[in-house]
Amino acid sequence: MARLGIRRTAERRKKIVAALSVFLEMYTAVSAFILLMASAASLNSYRPSTRRYSLESYPKREYVRRILNNNESCISLLRMNLQGFYKLCEMLESLGGLKPTRNIAIDEQVAIFLHILAHHVKNRVIQYNFRRSGESISRTFHKVLNAIMHLQGHLFRTPEPVPTNCTDNRWKWFKNCLGALDGTFIKVNVSSSVKIRYRTRKGDIATNVLGVCTPDMQFVYVLSGWEGSVADSRVLRDAISRTHALKVPHGCYYLVDAGYTNCEGFLAPFRGQRYHLNEWRQGYQPTNPQEFFNMKHAVARNVIERCFGLLKIRWGILRSPSYYPIKTHNRIIIACCLLHNFIRQVMQFDPMESELDEFDPAEGEMNLINTVDPSDAWTN
């Protein structure tokens, strides 16, 4: 009986192998045919710069092909023009260690990743659009995220102090200033046992992200991961004392708001004086030197608010709680900041900047501080 069984399975295996090899031959013939058809069809749209990444024969690439067909669709879906997109692919491959897989070329991997960041679409939707399995989308997302994290040294900016001959009306008052610094909340999804620590004063579940930017709105340093209930000043204390610390060269400083202490390297406005941009915009004139200082301070420090504004306009994933665990989300936040810098470096005009003036970061309450500042050397 047992022998018979073995012989039978052996025969079955033989049959299957025979059937498979016929199928394989047919499959090869058919795919060669498809390949031929597709390359004929894509000749018209052949562009040399895309050649390196093309698996144009692959029918599943239909959606990527459509996105990468012109600047408009590329900007609206991936937030950068074609030139920028291919440059990013190149950087991720050569510096970030991103590798193509047998079926998914680098450009498609990057497109999947950017599409998720920009529009915060669910894995299911991406599966449908790109015609890939959920597992494959998820693997791709993490691969590209890792590769982007490798670009930190290339994409974070090294700040330069405002020179003495600066003519920019916002910055010329702040010689040796490096830029501005502030915190922003980004909503996250955490388990209910730790929710309380992530609850902000407004009741959102969020992480408190410290961002530091240059006068031309590029990030110098970003620290993500502190719970929403933690005060800004504590996050800053951590930032300047950790291994990869925010460093402020001697004699240089960043502008900070009154939530931080005025100290070496960080210049805060005078307390107990008017300090809010909207008031100056409404035509209110400063009545003393401290108010005048605060006015200039508020105007210049506003770059960091605009930077955060742009970041959230650009990347939908930062506007609502993500489906990703908090640890991943913190890396996503860093990746968004790096890509923000990248876009501002490679594109002549930031495509999102025109939307910034309509964007309300949901603050704007008067920022009048009522306590009196203890005067110290730095204040002077």
**Binding stretches for ligand NAG (CB under 6 A):** 70-71, 81-83, 163, 165, 167, 189, 191, 321, 323
d(CA 195, CA 206): 9
What letter does residue 10 receive in the DSSP assignment? H
First to last CA, the chain: 99
Question: In the chain, which ranges are continuous DSSP H helix?
Answer: 2-42, 62-67, 71-78, 82-94, 106-119, 123-130, 134-149, 152-155, 195-198, 232-241, 277-281, 289-314, 326-346
d(CA 25, CA 28): 5
Least separation in angstroms between CB 124 and ligand NAG: 12
3 state SS of 291: helix
Nearer to ligand NAG, 259 or 321 (CB): 321
Least separation in angstroms between CB 63 and ligand NAG: 18
Nearer to ligand NAG, 236 or 326 (CB): 326
Nearer to ligand NAG, 158 or 193 (CB): 193
Contacts of 260 (CB under 8 A, 6+ apart): 181, 232, 233, 236, 266, 268
Least separation in angstroms between CB 172 and ligand NAG: 10
Nearer to ligand NAG, 189 or 233 (CB): 189
d(CA 155, CA 171): 23
Least separation in angstroms between CB 11 and ligand NAG: 49
Least separation in angstroms between CB 321 and ligand NAG: 5
Least separation in angstroms between CB 296 and ligand NAG: 19
Nearer to ligand NAG, 282 or 349 (CB): 349
Nearer to ligand NAG, 82 or 318 (CB): 82
With vertex at residue 26, the alpha carbon angle to CA 25 and CA 29, rounded to the nearest 5 degrees, is 85
